[in-house]
Amino acid sequence: MRGGADRRDWSGLLFVLPFLTAYLIILIYPLLSGMALSFQRVDLFGGGRFVGFDNYARLFADETFVRSVLNTFALALMIVPLLTVIALSLALALNRATRGAAVFRGVFFSSSVLSVTIVTLIWRFVLAPDAGLLGETAQAIGAEPIPFLSHPTWSLWALAITTIWWSVGLPMMLFLAGLQQIPGDVYEAAALDRASRWTTFWRVTLPALRRTLVLVVMLQTAAQLQIFGQAQLLTGGGPGGSTRTMVLFIFESAFARWELGYATAAAEILFLLIVLITLTQYVTTMRASEGEDGR
């Protein structure tokens, strides 16, 4: 009997083997070898040399790295709340069955299909203070153009605005999907209970979107902590390192200075940060939500 059960187990494993193989090779192996690499001093041409926590110690002493961590957090804090609010507002406005709403859903989602190169190109045209759209507009009304790409604070905002514009489509769609799960008769009950639009939003709609909201915030936090393309292409990390993000730092360490071990150690820190932050978000927001599945 036992042998038969065992054989069944093994044959089951056979079915998932193709996936498991790819998963091990593409995800698990690099993850582990990355960890190993972060404890070595290594360049592209020679073998590595084990250095213990040397790379990590150097990172925490490296002002450029610390700055990049702060920049990344600043960006995530600028992007995630705004992006969530804008995506939710768009979803609320477009959650209707009219043709116009369908067109606008398409329009707002369309930016998501563009590559980061095109997105940054577009926003360069908009943000450039001398010849860009905002610069021209400012000059036309006689105001001083905002130096979006050359001022340390403004250039972070430039990155944030570009990112929000680029990534608003998916969270909007997630919110729309969440909104369509809410049964219509609950809103009718609220209308009979004389709930104002505002009360209905806070007491009916938002609680029902709680899971979607958590999902959007977690996905966006994880994504924005890895912000890279916009920073590299729009500002190149400048001016004066004010927009250098963690991934840009990792990229520069690995592929400009060829310090693979050092870069990998920075990547491990980023990995840990993302895991910690998203886990914290998950645990704190998902508490006390049992018993809310039924009506």
Partner 1 sequence: MASLELSDIRKSYGATAVLDGVSLTMEAREFIAFLGPSGSGKSTLLRIIAGLETLDGGEVRLDGRRIDQVPPGDRGVAMVFQHYALYPHMSVRENMAFGLRNVGVPRDEIERRVADAARVLEIEVHLDKKPGQMSGGQRQRVAIGRAIVKHPKLFLLDEPLSNLDAALRMRTRIELAQIRSRVDAAFIMVTHDQAEAMTLADRIVVMNDRKIQQVGPPMEIYSRPANTFVARFVGSPAMTLAPVELVPDDGLYARVRLGDGAEIETRVPRSELPAGGTLQIGLRPESVAVAANGAATTQAKVELVERLGERTLVYARLSDNRAITAEDEGYSRVNVGDTVGLRIDGAAAHLFDAEERGYHAEARPE
Q: What residues make contact with partner 1 under the rule CB under 8 A?
A: 183, 185-186, 188-196, 199, 203-204, 207-208, 210, 290-295
CA–CA gap between residue 70 and residue 257 (Å, rounded): 22
Backbone angles phi, psi at 50, to 5 degrees: -70, 130
CA–CA gap between residue 130 and residue 139 (Å, rounded): 9
The nearest distance, CB 206 to partner 1, in angstroms, is 9
Beta carbon nearer to partner 1, 203 or 257: 203
Beta carbon nearer to partner 1, 35 or 182: 182
Tell me the DSSP string of 124-146. Answer: HHHH-TTTSHHHHHHHHTTPPPP
**Cβ-based burial of 168 (10 A; exposed 0-12, middle 13-18, buried ≥19):** buried
CA distances from 18 to 12, 13, 23, 239 (A): 12, 10, 9, 47
The nearest distance, CB 98 to partner 1, in angstroms, is 15
Beta carbon nearer to partner 1, 186 or 274: 186
Sign of torsion, CA 92 88 180 211?
negative
The nearest distance, CB 190 to partner 1, in angstroms, is 8
DSSP annotation of 231 reads I
Beta carbon nearer to partner 1, 2 or 197: 197
The nearest distance, CB 202 to partner 1, in angstroms, is 11
Beta carbon nearer to partner 1, 74 or 204: 204
Which residues, at least 6 apart from 46, have a Cβ–Cβ distance to it below 8 Å?
Answer: none
Beta carbon nearer to partner 1, 154 or 187: 187
Contact criterion met (CB below 8 Å) for 227 and 234 = no
The nearest distance, CB 70 to partner 1, in angstroms, is 37
The nearest distance, CB 285 to partner 1, in angstroms, is 14
CA distances from 14 to 6, 28, 127, 237, 252 (A): 13, 19, 55, 48, 42
